[in-house]
Amino acid sequence: MDRNNLTYVPASVRREDEPFEIVERKGDGHPDTLADALGERLSAVYSRYTQEHFGAVLHHQFDKTGILGGRVEVAFGGGRMLSPVRVLLSGRASGAFAGQEIPVRDLLTEAVGEFFAERYPMLDTKRDLRLLYEVSQGDSPGGVGAKDKSNVRSRWFAPQSLADLPELSKLACNDTSSGCAFSPPTATEQLVLDVEGVLAGARRPAWLGSDIKVMAHRFGTRVDLTCAIPQLSEHVPDVATYVANREAARETLTQYVAERYPQLDVRLWVNTRDDEDRPELYLTYTGSSIETGDEGLVGRGNRYGGLIAANRPYTMEGISGKNPVYHTGKVYCVGADLIAGLVHSELGHGAEVILVGQSGRELVDPWAAVVRVEPAADGRPAPDRELVADLVDRGLAELPGSLGAILAGAYRMH
Burial degree of 189 (CB within 10 A; 0-12, 13-18, 19+): buried
The confidence score (pLDDT) of residue 146 equals: 52
Note the pLDDT tens digit of each residue in 147-203. Answer: 555 566 668 888 999 999 998 889 999 999 999 999 999 999 999 999 999 999 878
* Statement: residue 103 has pLDDT above 60: yes
The rounded Cα 160 to chain-centroid distance in angstroms is: 33
Tell me the average pLDDT across 122-140: 90
Among 45, 41, 73, smallest CA distance to 286 is for 73
CA-CA distance, 107 to 158, in Å (whole number)? 17
- The answer to which of 72-81, 199-208, 231-240, 301-310 has the lowest mean pLDDT is 199-208
Among 50, 303, 279, 311, smallest CA distance to 180 is for 303
85-93 and 66-68: which strand pairing?
antiparallel
What's this model's pTM, rounded to 2 decimal places?
Answer: 0.94
Residues 6+ away with beta carbon under 8 Å from 63 = 39, 91, 298, 299, 318, 319, 320, 321, 322
Burial degree of 176 (CB within 10 A; 0-12, 13-18, 19+): middle
The rounded Cα 148 to chain-centroid distance in angstroms is: 40
Q: Domain spans of the chain?
A: 3-25+176-185+303-407, 31-140, 187-297
The confidence score (pLDDT) of residue 14 equals: 96
- Mean pLDDT of all residues belonging to the chain: 94
The confidence score (pLDDT) of residue 148 equals: 53
pLDDT band at 140 (very low <50, low <70, confident <90, very high): low
The CATH number of the domain covering residues in 3-25+176-185+303-407: 3.30.300.280
- Alpha-carbon Rg for the chain, nearest whole angstrom, is 23
Q: Provide DSSP, 167-216.
A: GGTS-B-SSS-EEEEEESPPHHHHHHHHHHHHHSSTT--TTB-S--EEEE
Q: Which residues partner with 20 through β-bridges?
A: 219
CATH topology of domain 31-140: GMP Synthetase; Chain A, domain 3 (3.30.300)
CATH topology of domain 187-297: GMP Synthetase; Chain A, domain 3 (3.30.300)
Among 331, 298, 304, 340, smallest CA distance to 25 is for 304
CA distance to 48, 225, 330, per residue, from 305 (Å): 23, 20, 12
Note the pLDDT tens digit of each residue in 41-63. Answer: 999 999 999 999 999 999 999 99
